[in-house]
Chains A and B, each alone.
Chain A
Amino acid sequence: MSVRASLGDNGHQLTIRVDGRFDFSAHQEFRDAYENSTSVITYVIDLGGATYLDSSALGMLLLLRDHAGGDTSKISITNCNDDVRKILTISNFEQLFTIQ
């Protein structure tokens, strides 16, 4: 598991890439990845390298959403593999996030 964050669009877009198993062990790193970014408007969660997602990862996404402004947040989740996508679909997270 690894979490990498990168800023783009003049600091307005934060991309967080999670590789490997996205579960509770990513908790602190994932939080650290966005907590201190103040000028960010849009968030991209790149799950291209994520092999698995559990319910605590869903919880972390909800925490990010809360941090990013709740209903007004702009978060897209990209590059999900079939397994990861299925978990997001079962939980109907497309109602809260833009899933690409």
Chain B
Amino acid sequence: MSSYKVLIADDNNVDRKVLSRVVRNQGNEVIEVSNGFEAVDAFREHRPEIVLMDVMMPGLNGKEATRQIKHIAGEDFVPVIFLTSLSDAQSLADCLESGGDDFLTKPYNYIVLQAKIDSFHRMSEMHRTLLNQRDEIARVNRHMLQEQRVAKAVYDNVAHAGCLNAPNIRYELSPLAVFNGDVLLAAYKPGGGMHVVLGDFTGHGLPAAIGAMPMADIFYGMTAKGFGLREVLREINQKLKSILPVGFFCCAAAVELSPDRQAVSVWMGGVPDCYLLRADGECVETLSSRHLPLGVLSGDQFNDKMTELPMSKGDRLFLWSDGIIEARNSAGEMFGQDRLLDVVRQARKPEDVFTAIQSTVDAFTSGSEKDDDTTLIEVLMDTLSGAQEAQKSVKGTAGTGPIDWSMDYCLEASTLRAFNPVPLMNHIMMEVPGLRAIGGQLYTVVAELFSNAFEHGVLGLESSLKDSSEGFMEYYRQREERTKGLKDGFVKIRMLHTGDGHQGDLTLIVEDSGEGFNYNNGEIFHPSENRYSGRGIPLLERICQSLEYEGKGNVVKAVIHWPLDQEARSNA
């Protein structure tokens, strides 16, 4: 049996001695005092775990001493057992009323006394455990909040490296948005214009926050280097796909604002309909999600196709996560897309729409429990005067890339069996700042030209095979078989770039060891020609300024001029 410290306060010597002996016999330590004042002092000094208190004592009586002891004990549970020879029910009830936890009548029943001390000790143990757990929870909670503050500070440094405070942007984002999974990113492009991304990660808390960091990092890093939004999205998707567990993803709306072309390109995956409000305030165009959210599809399945729309100065684009649509009123009803569209349509002036949305949603949700995850951004088409500062700082690095250069790269059969040169070539091209913005399109061109040269030229595969679905399978079966057995052949790639830092031409010449084919350059640009459709040529013609076959048809020369004109950008 464990030992407790027991305080006995009784002015009656005989009673105190008897009690003291019984309690000591149980293995406890006893402190004896003979009046109320001494009891309070002894409690302060020795902090006993249980107090046995006579009710009637000269000086300070037992009830008053108990009140003081309970006060000193604070939130610790110190059971006080009143000792009394009073036996009527009312007197005993009075004892408990005045702060006692139990009573013991004289003469003492030693067995009952023993049981009571044990039971109260168990109770104080429980109470102590409870307090400890409560304090532990409070401590863990404080710790967690502290960690969140630090995490948020780190996150803010990464996420707010951009230009969310640009004059053409208005936004609302919960201060702890990082923990509800909402992300807003905006950055000026070195070549002019702006990238904006609104993201909404599945889930809440740490799992939602964790993906936002690499996303912001990639967004700002690649945008500053001059990469186009499609490349940025592709990279973010790839990253999220590789780091997030299956079932976690990021719904997103991404916007490339181009004031020089008075155009906007939009990519939406998994976010609710967004609106483009014209400067006249009348016309509202709806933009809808066309893609799967980021982080769902693997790199080769990811679709980076953007929707391009004319956007003039004064036009406004409104983007939001589903927080606004799903905001609920006190009746549990959702705000919904229709109410949102009404607010956009009915606002008196275009510049009022943003605050009208905020106040309407606030009024709608008032009285209900707020989820506080309303994320909303307005992007206004303007001249982006703020961009110039940002551009100057980046220009220095942007202009230092290679300008006039050429490279020859010859791949022999032994290399072709197992090596794909396209990523390497893409890497080399991406050293030219002006080419970064069209990296995705360039990749398409190089991949297309190389696979034509390798599959039709070196391996001699018939593109017409791919016309039927059985043939398609057969085509790839043959491709695999012939690649394995490849002994002779080559693909030569020549890359040549000229330019002045603001514009340039990239020439790609791909020659293969094959027999070539009977070409007619005049017809290359007609996608309806069956003969070429299998070779992916129609796709290339939109991107390339010129595309010609040479020699016996085993050499193809493509010229790409940058910056790409509008049509090439949107169609490719």
Contact = CB atoms under 8 A, between A and B. Distances in A.
8 contacts: A55-B270, A55-B322, A59-B203, A71-B301, A91-B269, A91-B270, A91-B289, A93-B292
A62 interface: yes
A96 interface: yes
B296 A55 contact: no
B267 to A, nearest CB: 12
A62 B247 contact: yes
Interface of A: 55-56, 58-60, 62-63, 66, 71, 89-93, 95-96
B247 A92 contact: no
Interface in B149-189: none
A55 B292 contact: no
B249 interface: yes
A92 B270 contact: yes
Contact of A90 (B202, B203, B249, B289): B289
B293 A91 contact: yes
Nearest to B271: A90
A90 B322 CA distance: 11
B272 interface: yes
B203 A56 contact: yes
Contacts of B293: 91
A15 to B, nearest CB: 21
Given A59-B249, A60-B247, A95 B292 contact: yes
Interface of B: 200, 202-203, 246-249, 251, 269-273, 288-293, 296, 301, 322
Nearest to A71: B301
B289 A62 contact: no
A92 B291 contact: yes
Q: From DSSP, what is the main secondary structure of chain A's interface residues? A: helix
A56 B293 CA distance: 13
Contact of B249 (A62, A66, A89, A95): A62
Contacts of B291: 92
Given A91-B293, A95-B292, A55 B246 contact: no
A90 B246 contact: no
Contacts of B288: 90
B248 A59 contact: yes
Given A56-B202, A56-B203, A59-B202, A92 B249 contact: no
A95 to B, nearest CB: 6
Nearest to B269: A92
A92 B292 contact: yes
Nearest to A90: B289
> Which of A56, A62, A90, A93 has the most chain B CB atoms inside 10 A of its CB?
A90
Contacts, number: 51
Contacts of A71: 301
A71 B300 CA distance: 12
A95 B305 CA distance: 15
A58 B289 contact: no
B321 to A, nearest CB: 10
Given A62-B296, A96-B296, A91 B248 contact: no
Contacts of A63: 246-247
Contacts of B301: 71
Given A90-B289, A91-B292, A92-B289, A59 B247 contact: yes
Contact of B202 (A55, A89, A92): A55
A91 B251 contact: yes
> Which of B202, B247, B248 has the most chain A CB atoms inside 10 A of its CB?
B247
Nearest to B288: A90
B247 A90 contact: no
Nearest to A66: B246
Contacts of A56: 202-203, 247
A58 B270 CA distance: 10
B198 to A, nearest CB: 14
A17 to B, nearest CB: 20
A51 to B, nearest CB: 12
Given A56-B202, A56-B203, A62 B246 contact: yes
A90 B251 CA distance: 10
Contacts of B270: 55, 58, 90-92
A85 to B, nearest CB: 14
Contacts of B289: 89-92
Contacts of A60: 247
A96 to B, nearest CB: 7
A95 B298 CA distance: 13
Contacts of B251: 55, 91
B183 to A, nearest CB: 14
Contacts of A55: 200, 202-203, 251, 270, 322
A36 B319 CA distance: 42
A25 to B, nearest CB: 14
Contacts of A96: 292, 296
A89 B288 CA distance: 10
B297 to A, nearest CB: 8
B511 to A, nearest CB: 36
A33 to B, nearest CB: 15
Contacts of B249: 58-59, 62
Contacts of B272: 90
